Every structure is written in structure tokens, then in C-alpha cells.
Amino acid sequence: MPGYAIGHLLLFSIINAFTPGPGNILALNTVTNYGWKKGSPLFLGIFAGYYVVELICAVFVYGVSSFLPSMLGVMKYVGAAYILWLAIHIAISRPDEGDADKAASFWKGFVLQFVNVKIYLFGITALTGYVTDYSTSLWVLILFELGIATLGTIATSAWIGAGMAIQKIYLRHYRPINIALALTLLECVYAILAG
């Protein structure tokens, strides 16, 4: 895999992992309301769920590449369309103001990841947009998905660790931050389509 492809994959992954999503927002909200100790079961559930979902994505992409190889080309464009949608959504989005249910359990965090469409699309797009042109080996796909899950765990940990500081900064400057992230994602779309 050439360095430029790894660079674009890493850029896409960092932006996707660190932008607000259900897991990051729930973790931020939980730590600000309950603190680390009471919130830690939920955080561990989020982390465990992330790894399981990304492994499911690797097996899914492997299955598609083995049994329907022509679908990978189509999925590449679907992935590019998803990144474009994500860029537009990030550029126009406003901070979310609340979370009604504040119970901090392992299972709540774990199950959240199974309904978190963002990480499914993240995992599948990363593989079909950047990796499958170079390898469709199950072990390679799993390795990249484990890297994505690790990056996602680091990102969620950053949201937890920064707590209210991130929320205050983001709330104050969300528009320029969102526009910068969206423009960077547009470059990722270009890289997928040009590659």
C-alpha cells in the first residue's frame, strides 16, 4: 500500500474518529455528569463494542470481496458519497444540546455501538475506499479495522479526558472547526475518486 494511500486513510480515520458521534457525545456527557469512576463501565462498553463492530465490518468486506468482487468498485463510490455527505453534515451541523438517558452501564455503551451507523460506515468506507485496492486478505482487513477501532477508542478517550474543556471550546468555535473538518473530508473524497 503506497504511502499516499495510507496518509489519506489516516487523515480520513482521524477526522471520522474525533468528530462528534453518538459514542463520543455520550462519553463526554457521561464524564461531565458522573465523572470517570461512575462512567467507566459505559466507556468500557463503548470501547468493546467498537472493536466488535469493526471486526464485523472486516468480515463483511471480506465476504463481499470474495463472493461479489465487482461490488467493491461500487462500494468505493458509495463510500465516497458517504464521506461527501459527512462533510456537508459536519459543515452545517450545530452542537447537540442534550442526552435524555444518562445511565452509565457497560451494556448501554456496548449496545450503542451496534446501532451506531457512523462506525459501520466508517469501517466499511475505510476498507473499500483505501485498502481493498491493495489487499482483500481477511487478515489485512482485520488488521486495518483493529487500527480503526484503536483510533476510535483513542478519540473517545480524548473526549472523556477533555470533558467540559472540549465542549466549551467546540460550542464557542463549532462553525470554523466544522468547516475545516468538512474541507479536509472533501480532499479525502477526491483521493478516493482519483485513486
Pick 149 or 116 by higher pLDDT.
Answer: 149
Whose CA is closest to 87, among 187, 186, 193, 192?
A: 186
Query: How many separate domains does the chain show?
Result: 1
Between CA 40 and CA 25 the distance in angstroms is 15
Could you report the per-residue pLDDT of 155-187, keeping only the tens digit for each? 999 988 876 566 667 667 778 877 876 787 777
Domain region containing 170: 3-194
Confidence check: pLDDT of 26 > 90:
no
Answer yes or no: is pLDDT of 103 > 80.
no
**Nearest by Cα to 9 from 186, 184, 131, 149:** 131
Q: Please state the pTM of the whole predicted model.
A: 0.71
Q: What is the DSSP letter of 100?
A: S
Q: How far apart are CA 38 and CA 183, in angstroms?
A: 38
